[in-house]
Structure 1
Amino acid sequence: MEVPPIDSHLGMLTYMSGGSPINGRLREKLSDFIVDEVLLGKRASRAFLGIDKFEGGGASYLVVMKRVRMDSFEMISKLSKKLGRRVGYAGMKDARSISFQFISVQGSLRELPEMEGLSLRYAGRGEMIYLGMNDGNHFTVVIRGADTIELPKIFPNFFSYQRFGVKRPYNHEIGKAILLRDIEGASSMISEQGYEVSAARSLKQLSEMIGSELIRFYVHSYQSYIFNLILSRRIELGIGPRHGDFVLRPNGEIALYPERGSLLLPLVGGLTEARGWLAEELASILREEGVSKEMFIFRELPEVSALGDFRKAFCEVEPKIVEREGFIVLSFFLESGAYATSYLREIIKPRDPIAQGFI
């Protein structure tokens, strides 16, 4: 089945399940998409309401924020500046949603600031929260305009639309320009996103203007795009075990086929190694892209280097469904790093992801 043009731009070249596209629409109302983070077994919405608290000690204040129509990266940056302190968080949340999320604040915290689109509540004391620390997220999603839907129990773990941005220049395109050391091209695209970086002539100068964390985000976005391409090719090849597979064993160890476990695919970086089918496909993709894994090492700015990692190729899900006249309510939990819109894409197969509320 042919995918929409935007999916092709983002490396999502196929679907895993059969079936035809349906006319389901997301986010016609703000309350149609609710994200509830789970950290150490506690749901953020319950902590926000004062039902659950973290009773242990720790050097950081734990805070729950209810965020409405606000980009995670922008919000964390503004909050950190307002507090004058480092703010820790476990993951990015969809901007077009009502999101409940845990954050940590180092040092003393006399009062919680007021910010438009943001409500904050104390949740106790604990350790600093870092990326990927959360258990995952619980989603409540309303699909309108669909009479019936089929719910797969497994789906491709694509990096979804939110990772790359709403329109061009996409974040991964900027990441590729940075990888190619095309600072002029990268700066031009970053300027289109609203940053003043036209004077940057080197990666270090660019970092001084927008910060190394944002540069790292662009590089990681390009990693995500390459991952999507690899995952698309693996689906087309078939999902059965193959020579060259890396798997995550039940005990948390990474092993090679014929060991059994959850299939892993690489987030390519400077130290990525591959064999079998994966070596062939990865070499082909990098060649087509005109890049090499060594380019992910930035000696001129080491803190933005990407050495490589792994990510699950597929996610399992146990959705609950309530059908109403004119709409369907889905409730499901996804582990940390998985995108609800990747699961919903597999269900709806949108002809126009923007018009149907995926972005």
Structure 2
Amino acid sequence: MEQNERIPHFKDWRLDHWQYAYGQPTATAIFKDVPEDFIVTEKLGYDLTGEGENLYLLIEKTSMNTQQVCMHLAKVLQRRLRDVGYAGLKDKHAITRQWFSIQMNVKQEPDLTGVETPNIKLLQTIRHNRKLKVGSLKSNQFDIQLKSVSDIADVQRRLTHIAEHGVPNYFGEQRFGFKGNNLNWANRMADGEAIRDKKVKGFGLSGARSFLFNEVLSARLAGNPEVTAIEGDVFELAGSNSYFQQPLAPEIHQRLAEKDIYLTGPMFGDGEMLSKGDVQTLENDIATQHPKWVKLLVDNGLKQERRALWLYPQNVKHTQSGDNISLSFELPSGTFATSVIRECIRILERENTSQ
């Protein structure tokens, strides 16, 4: 990978160089041919109170992104855009069922007749005492259709293995924008351009940070396909954002095997790196290849954090019908279904799907 300062501001990024856990798949398939092939359902993981100044709406959207729904709700309900809350951004080329919140007086009965459109269905409404914030989500349920699968047996074998052993916790390509354009924004900011649009700025920062994480994870996979623990690793307590560093011991290996703790990689930013030894050396090597991006993250107030290197899908199920495979699984918030899919198939380009 070229050093950051040698990368032009405008390029179509290739994001297929990251290592696989189980080797590059042999099977090809059509993925997300129509919205019905990719269905996502949010699971908040907590009960809504039924009262309060925030009206929660469970929306099923088709071929729309989350921001488009937010703008529609703000317009129809005559609220400011900042009064609309959501837990996470969802794919446009899909059917997604997600929650939105609208700040609204507890005594006001809203007129919801304009909410539904050909692309928006209102499934449920309920009051709650807090605004829905980004990240306040337990998990997402995915129901996916893979069509014209060239090697059914290989995909089924991989899915069975993934259900037990998981996949690398890469950030999906959607994090980087169309053809990686969010990384172009990061380059522009790193070279001093002031980006006034907060959303675009956020996309650039997030894209650069996520790219660096993926680079570290890929480097770990290159020398250790199972990503086993090595001296200097930092561990995350399962189900929390609590991480710690300590020397390897038999109990650490046991806790990793039991999925009580996970290995982590860096989310670069300001502050001291927790990793040590060979792990810190590897992570620093990635950072030195992209000094402008690391400085950009620090200058914008992002702090050193950690993210699990491995992802364990829950309730993995799959069925076959002819040369199609239907699969479903659940992932914690902040993780990507495409990280599972990339270990199963090579996606046929849209222009070739009719062949």
CA pair 107-321 structure 1, distance change in 2 beyond 3 A: same
Equivalent in the alignment of 1:193: none
Deviation for aligned residue 1:180: 3.5
Equivalent in the alignment of 1:346: 343
Deviation for aligned residue 1:128: 1.3
**Are 1:16 and 1:155, in contact at CA under 8 Å, matched by a contact in 2?**
yes
The equivalent position to 2:302 in structure 1, one of 281, 303, 306, is 306
Equivalent in the alignment of 1:235: 221
After TM superposition, the structure 1 stretch with the greater mean CA deviation from structure 2, 317-326 or 289-298, is 289-298
Are 2:67 and 1:73 aligned? yes
Are 2:191 and 1:180 aligned? yes
- Counterpart AA for 2:317: K
- Counterpart AA for 2:286: I
Distance 1:158 1:292 in 2: 19
Distance 2:351 2:141 in 1: 24
Identity of aligned residues (%): 24
SS in 1 for 2:327: strand
Equivalent in the alignment of 1:84: 79
Deviation for aligned residue 1:263: 1.1
The equivalent position to 2:54 in structure 1, one of 26, 39, 60, is 60
The equivalent position to 1:135 in structure 2, one of 126, 135, 138, is 138
Distance 2:311 2:132 in 1: 24
Equivalent in the alignment of 1:117: 119
Q: Equivalences for 1:1-359 in 2 at 5 Å?
A: 9-10=14-15, 12-18=17-23, 20-40=25-45, 54-80=48-74, 83-85=78-80, 86-108=83-105, 110-112=110-112, 113-114=114-115, 115=117, 117-126=119-128, 127-146=130-149, 147-148=152-153, 149=155, 150=157, 151=159, 152-153=162-163, 154-167=166-179, 170-181=181-192, 183=193, 203=194, 206-207=195-196, 210=197, 212-238=198-224, 239-250=227-238, 252=240, 253-257=242-246, 258=248, 259=252, 260=255, 261-271=261-271, 273=273, 274-291=275-292, 293-298=294-299, 305-317=301-313, 318-350=315-347, 352=348
Kindly report structure 1 stretches of 4+ aligned residues shifted beyond 4 Å.
352-357
**Are 1:10 and 1:228, in contact at CA under 8 Å, matched by a contact in 2?**
no
- Counterpart AA for 1:336: S
- Counterpart AA for 1:139: F
- Counterpart AA for 1:173: N
Aligned pair count reads 309
Deviation for aligned residue 1:292: 6.1
**Are 2:14 and 2:179, in contact at CA under 8 Å, matched by a contact in 1?**
no
CA pair 251-315 structure 1, distance change in 2 beyond 3 A: closer
Distance 1:130 1:165 in 2: 22
SS in 2 for 1:24: strand
Across the aligned residues of Structure 1 and Structure 2, the Cα RMSD in angstroms comes to 2.6
SS in 1 for 2:344: helix
CA pair 326-124 structure 1, distance change in 2 beyond 3 A: same
- Counterpart AA for 1:217: F
Cα deviation digits, residues 168-218 of structure 1 (max 9, x gap) = 5x112212321332x1xxxxxxxxxxxxxxxxxxx2xx32xx2x2331222
CA pair 8-264 structure 1, distance change in 2 beyond 3 A: farther
Equivalent in the alignment of 1:200: none
Distance 2:322 2:51 in 1: 48
Deviation for aligned residue 1:347: 0.7
CA pair 121-326 structure 1, distance change in 2 beyond 3 A: same
Structure 1: segments with no counterpart, 5+ residues: 1-5, 43-53, 184-202, 299-303
CA pair 12-308 structure 1, distance change in 2 beyond 3 A: farther
- Counterpart AA for 2:206: H
Structure 2: segments with no counterpart, 5+ residues: 1-10, 256-260
Deviation for aligned residue 1:78: 4.8
